[in-house]
Structure 1
Amino acid sequence: MGYQDGGPSEWGILTTSDDETEDEEEFTDSEPDSDSGEVDFMMIVTGANPSEAEKTTYFASKFENCMKSLNYYECNECKEKVLIRDQIKCVHGKRCINFQACNDMDPGDVPEELSDLSFKEEQLIARVHPVLSVFKLKGIQYGYSGNVINFSQDVAAFSKKLPHRLQDLPSILVLKYENEKYGSKYFNVRASKIVKALQWLKVNNKYYCDIEICEENINDLPVNENVYGKIQGCSVGENGSIHINDNEKTSSNNDEVQDGELDFGNVIHESRMPITVSFSTEEQVESTIVDWPEMNTTPDDEYNSDADLRCQRDSKVNASDYFQHLLNYKDGRFARHPTFRFFALNSWMRWTACTTGSIMIKNVPQLKHVTVSNLKEMLKKDPSLMNKIIYQSSNIRGTKPFWSKRTGELVDMVEQLGLPTLFLTLSSADLHWPDLFRILTGNLDNSQLTEKERRDLLQNNPYAVDKRVECIIDTVICTKYNVKDYWYRVEYQHRGSPHVHGILWIKGAPNVMDIKPGDDEKLKEAEDFFSSLITAVNPDPNCECQGTHPCRTLHEDVIHKSEKEKDEDLAHLLVQCQTHTKCAENYCLRTKRGGLKQCRFKFPHTLREKGRFYFDENGELQYEPARNDPLLNKFNRFLMAIWCGNFDTSPVVSKKLLLVYLSKYISKSEIRSSSLKDLFESVFAEFSDEDNVLKPIRRLYIRTCSERDYSAQEVCHILSGRKLFSAGGRKFVVLNLNENLNEEDVYEELAQRGGA
């Protein structure tokens, strides 16, 4: 039975055994749950009454073995290469044949003539240039912003002669820091390479059979030269000022970008269309945007024109499976291509958005013949209708409506299961982890890798970190701490690496909701329980990090160290990853009444020998752990040491604080009512009052896909069908318990709960 606002509701949410149903495939092996006798098995291994040190060693070894068991498996039939634990069969099982060459799903190996092309060389020989914005996040990953402009183009009309001339290429605006250099990786051009590539394409690719290889254009190309200086670009100074570097004369002497025009520090913005050509919003959203371009078009990487998305196949392959297959293709060229993965995600999201819009109109008969003017009037009378409309797009993974729906589900989970025990926040130290680079390189010792090599490996393998998150949750947290339920979501830090927020329900944990002022016995019970899990004590608060970064320590080296050596390692790790180093205006400082500035995390904290629960001035229960460092975040000793990165752990002490946490961290993408209203108004402004609402609804859903930016790692995560969240094996089912409540009323109620 479900509950709403503390009382029984007339429709319910049941939790059953399953997980994120939106996922296409989940390339993970099953792990025993917390009731599988894992601890009993550990006792058999270590003895009848294992000590705490033996338990720690056992689970540390278990995590290490889990990471060692991860390897890339390549199927000889479908040519997919995926990172999984021990596997001897294709992850597709009986569906493997759908992704084989016999079903026209093998794009083939890269011919020598087309290998090692730079980004600029690809542009010179490409017949089609989609429009998208790509930027490089601080430090590591690529990302993209906005929507791809994707429409049918008569290729023969403007690209019969190849290669293009450098001055005629689609415009690229490159923003780079002044102290950075762009080398041959992006902008090097070799005339001989271009000739060989076009000759091969003319013979082997049906989309190039009618091209004319233009000798005049070839003669204008350099023999082997970086052409960055010949394209439109600008440099970003250390103070953020913009200096235009344009070889063409401009009509303006302004050399600064206005405030708000530049949102990212390290940007590659590709328009990939002539700068003089403009397209209206209408052209971007009409029905042609739904389909893959049909006139002589094919993705850059499909060298021999095989494995086209729109070709006729014996077994149908949808767009989601198609892109997932290419991302997992054995040589990894699609997953690491600087633009293909972003183009694929945005195209898939927009096609899904348009389909969802059509289904929305079909399922709500009263909207079928409604005009924009009619809908405006309906929204004035009943603003909640906006939530109902937006709720229908919650199947588009990664969007704001998607996360809004997840929040509603999580609130119901808390209502039924009770208050969870712990908050968890895991951050990535993926530039350092040796077990991760063992997977990426195949070598156990990666200490000699340069920082650039580490960054390149992560850029080219953007979803390898996912498995480390799964290992720590499945093989350690759930079993060592007797977790009966959990929920977590994966989000992405500013530089693109995964960041996990979650909550745990632990068996046998005291119910802090029962603690009342003056109830010393229950306070003592809760303090003893949480003190064993959470602390802020550094074994050596005066230590200084020297030499190798502490996150680069091998687990197998740590397991066999003495307790003193482990404490030394933990101290270095805490100083590096768990310390609130300083307060800053743009991070944690908040101005209180009277102009006093205060850290929102309440640092520095008071030192104390023992953890304690207490009631604050507002009557809210609070917990302070034992502490010998005023700037140390709360943590769990074992999890901190085994994760080798920032790992915050806090008790859940009140339902009120839990709901604040859910709104701030679990559902960051939730649409507020004011912005939702603005979204509707901006879409309506692009249509006349007499237009049918189908196109505005489609455009509304498309716009929800572009309200935020996506890193390369998140793009691959979504396209490959991996979990964006996990409810610990539970599925949410809507039950109508009121025979007088019709289906539309249920959806409206859900929209209010999940979208408000």
Structure 2
Amino acid sequence: MEGSLLPVKLKRKLTYKGHYDYQYVDTMHVQEALWYLKHCNFFYKDVEFNESWINEFSLEDNGLIKKNDGCKEDQDMSIDDNDDDLLHDRQTHCMFQDTCLMPVDIGQEALDVYVDNVLNVAPGENNNPIKLLSDSTNEAKCFPVLFPSGFNTYEKRQYRLTLSCYFNNRLLHADGRFARNVEYIFFAQYMSELEQVVSKVSIALRKGTSCTSQNMTEVLKDENSLNKLLEFDDGYRFLKPIRGTPAFWQSAQRDLLACVRMLGKPTWFASFSSADMRWKNLLYSILKQEGRTQTLEQLQWADKCELLRRNPVTAARMFDFRWHVFVKEVLMSPANPIGKIEDYYYRVEFQQRGSPHCHCLFWISGAPVLDKNTDEEVIVFIDKYVTCEIPSEEDLLFEVVTSVQQHSK
């Protein structure tokens, strides 16, 4: 009936006790959305709606489970049950429970106890896997909200467009639907990296060898050839341009060690965190993107956090812009706030709350070296650029230093 909510569990397989996603859906909204997709999206034209909201496949599988429960001598079934229990713990909350007594989401656990008529859906069960790069329709099928008509996805065009450029245009477009969808951002990253791996994997085996397409199979079957590829890291050298891979971090480590050999030990180690909650222009730009006329004074702390959570691309771009401007216009300015910088190295990481921060190494010209210069010279150099003094309450920096630059118990 109108306004009713139905609990739906999205599973990888109906026989699993755990689930991939669990939400309460409005039945009227589902019917309206499906009606729109049937008339506007050609991928849904043959979809029929079950008015009774009964999943016949789920009932049949439940009956099979009850019959198999009576057979205690079936050892394979007991093993599957243990695997299902472990999968249930992982899939229910996407993590293990915090303690043995308290679940991660106690409210959801209470609802699960009193709710029996849960609709189980496993749309991908008994289907064959499809290669992501070979199926040009997967983008529209995975994100019907972003592509309601099923068109304008990455496909063959009159002018050549790479996959990376396509996703960059999607995320940086004035239409912020794609940039606000976290699932689409990770989908774009995965597709871009997968395309790089597939395009370079064949070149990696041929580079530096006399392999051809005819004897490539023979090379892979030869144990000595495989050991040679692994010994000289030729087997995964093609992963070097892809961030996060062992080959990428091996290259970054070599660059850093080369700086240490040429310039010596770094002078400063510094961390710079994103002050996104204090950047008024960032929050104003997000409000303008969403078409809201509110001011920052009218927003609570939770509202600001929600703004940043819904717009991860805008927040990350603002941090990247401010970081490079800060290095160029402040740290490397003629004022030399930390000394004259000869070279620097940094790495950007993302905290659990989603905000980025930088870890940096700076090499300063004329800086004293430990174990070479005296302790007095080192102390004088440190006192020249570093201070632990709290400004007076009349100073404009008092609030910033006490709230940001001071650790509390």
Matched, 1:388 2:231: no
How far off is 1:393 after superposition? 0.8
Partner of 2:307: 457
CA distance in 1, matches of 2:285, 2:30: 35
Q: Which has the higher strand share?
A: 1
Segments of 5+ residues of structure 2 without an aligned counterpart are 55-87
Are 2:39 and 2:45, in contact at CA under 8 Å, matched by a contact in 1? yes
Q: 2:309 is aligned with what amino acid?
A: Q
SS of the aligned residue for 1:333 comes to coil
Identity of aligned residues (%): 25
Q: Structure 1 306/353 Cα, relative in aligned 2: closer, same or farther at 3 Å?
A: same
Matches within 5 A, 1:326-725: 326-366=170-210, 368-374=216-222, 376-378=223-225, 380=227, 384-385=231-232, 387-442=233-288, 446-463=296-313, 464=315, 465-479=319-333, 480-481=335-336, 482-506=340-364, 508-512=365-369, 516=372, 520=374, 524-535=376-387, 537-539=388-390, 564-566=394-396, 568-573=398-403, 577-579=405-407, 581=409
Partner of 2:151: 306
CA distance in 2, matches of 1:421, 1:486: 10
How far off is 1:217 after superposition? 4.4
How far off is 1:503 after superposition? 1.9
Q: 1:384 is aligned with what amino acid?
A: E
CA distance in 2, matches of 1:417, 1:215: 72
CA displacement, residues 376-428 of structure 1 (integer Å, 9 cap, x when unaligned): 4445578533x232232111123332222122122223434454432221123
Q: 1:451 is aligned with what amino acid?
A: W
CA distance in 2, matches of 1:571, 1:213: 60
Q: Structure 1 238/416 Cα, relative in aligned 2: closer, same or farther at 3 Å?
A: closer
CA displacement, residues 557-597 of structure 1 (integer Å, 9 cap, x when unaligned): xxxxx884246335513xx544374xxxxxxxxxxxxxxxx
How far off is 1:240 after superposition? 5.8
Are 1:290 and 1:354, in contact at CA under 8 Å, matched by a contact in 2? no
Aligned length: 340
CA displacement, residues 710-738 of structure 1 (integer Å, 9 cap, x when unaligned): xxxxxxxxxxxxxxxxxxxxxxxxxxxxx
SS of the aligned residue for 1:488 comes to strand
CA distance in 2, matches of 1:578, 1:412: 35
CA distance in 2, matches of 1:539, 1:210: 69
Are 1:510 and 1:525, in contact at CA under 8 Å, matched by a contact in 2? no
CA distance in 1, matches of 2:185, 2:377: 52
SS of the aligned residue for 2:270 comes to strand
Are 1:422 and 1:504, in contact at CA under 8 Å, matched by a contact in 2? yes
How far off is 1:539 after superposition? 2.4
Partner of 1:200: 36
CA displacement, residues 178-231 of structure 1 (integer Å, 9 cap, x when unaligned): xxxxxxxx945333333333333233223233434554449xxxxxxxxxxxxx
Partner of 2:134: 291
What is the TM-score with the length of structure 2 in the denominator?
0.67
SS of the aligned residue for 2:362 comes to strand
Partner of 1:211: 47
What is the TM-score with the length of structure 1 in the denominator?
0.39
CA distance in 2, matches of 1:273, 1:484: 58
Q: Aligned-residue CA RMSD in angstroms? A: 4.3
CA distance in 1, matches of 2:347, 2:182: 26
Are 1:395 and 1:402, in contact at CA under 8 Å, matched by a contact in 2? yes
CA distance in 1, matches of 2:31, 2:38: 11
Are 2:390 and 2:401, in contact at CA under 8 Å, matched by a contact in 1? yes
Are 2:205 and 2:235, in contact at CA under 8 Å, matched by a contact in 1? no
Partner of 1:239: 99
Which protein has greater RCO, CA pairs closer than 8 Å, 6+ apart? 1
Q: 1:501 is aligned with what amino acid?
A: H
Q: 1:192 is aligned with what amino acid?
A: M
CA distance in 2, matches of 1:314, 1:382: 40
How far off is 1:497 after superposition? 1.9
SS of the aligned residue for 1:334 comes to coil
Q: Structure 1 319/353 Cα, relative in aligned 2: closer, same or farther at 3 Å?
A: same
Segments of 5+ residues of structure 1 without an aligned counterpart are 1-117, 132-166, 175-185, 219-231, 250-270, 541-561, 582-756
CA distance in 1, matches of 2:139, 2:284: 43
